[in-house]
Structure 1
C-alpha cells in the first residue's frame, strides 16, 4: 500500500507503507493517518538525520539478504537481473526534504486523509 505525504511546502511524496513505517515509528506516528505539525518538523528532521547516519554505519544484515532471497529466490540460471539494494537513506531522502521544507516554511505534513 502507498502512503501519500502532503504539504503546502513541498510536492507530494509517495512511499510504500512498509518503508514509511520505519520513519513514522521513529517519529511515534501512525502509518495509517497522521500529521507532523510545523512545530514538530524541526525535531523530526533531527531524528531522521540521526537515523540515516546510524543506518550508514551498519552493513546489510542477514535479515535483508533473506528478504531479497524470498522475493527473488535462488536462481542459479540467471533468470533475474542483479539485485540492487536500496538503502534506508535513499528511501528516506524525499520525506526528509519535505520535512526540511515544512520546517522552513512553517507548514504541516499530512497523510492518510
Structure 2
C-alpha cells in the first residue's frame, strides 16, 4: 500500500505505508489517514530532525550485517542478487520533512490517505 502526502506547500510525496508508519508513529498520527496542521508542523519538523540525527549516530546493527553476509558467497559475490544497498531512515524521511518545512513556512496543512499500489 502507498501513502500519498498532499500539501499546497510542495509536490506530493509518496511512500510505502510500512515506511511511512515509523514516521507517523513518531508524530502520533494514524497511518491510514490524517492531517498535520500548519500549527503542528513546527513540532513535527523538530521531531523528525531529532530522529534523523539520532538515526545517523547508530551504525548498522550486527544482525543486519549477518543477514546481508548470509546471502552472499565467501568472496562477497552474489550471482543471484543485486548488490544490497540500505536505505536509511534519513533518506526515507527527508521528502516528508522537506514538505513539512515548506508547510510550516507557508502556513499550509499536510494531509494523507492510503491508496492501493497499482
- Whether these two folds match at TM > 0.5 is yes
Greater helix fraction, Structure 1 or Structure 2: 1
Larger Rg: 2
The Cα RMSD (Å) is 1.7
Structure 1, unpaired ranges of 5+: none
Q: Report the CA distance between 1:46 and its aligned residue.
A: 0.3
Residue of structure 1 equivalent to 2:105: 104
Provide Cα deviations, 1:65-101, integer angstroms capped at 9, x if missing partner: 47x65xxx72535211110001110111100000000
In the superposition, the TM-score normalised over structure 2's length comes to 0.85
Aligned residues: 109
Residue of structure 1 equivalent to 2:27: 27
Counterpart CA distance in 2 for 1:63 and 1:29 is 29
Residue of structure 1 equivalent to 2:11: 11
Provide Cα deviations, 1:6-62, integer angstroms capped at 9, x if missing partner: 000100000111111111000000000000000000000000000000000001124
Structure 2, unpaired ranges of 5+: none
In the superposition, the TM-score normalised over structure 1's length comes to 0.88
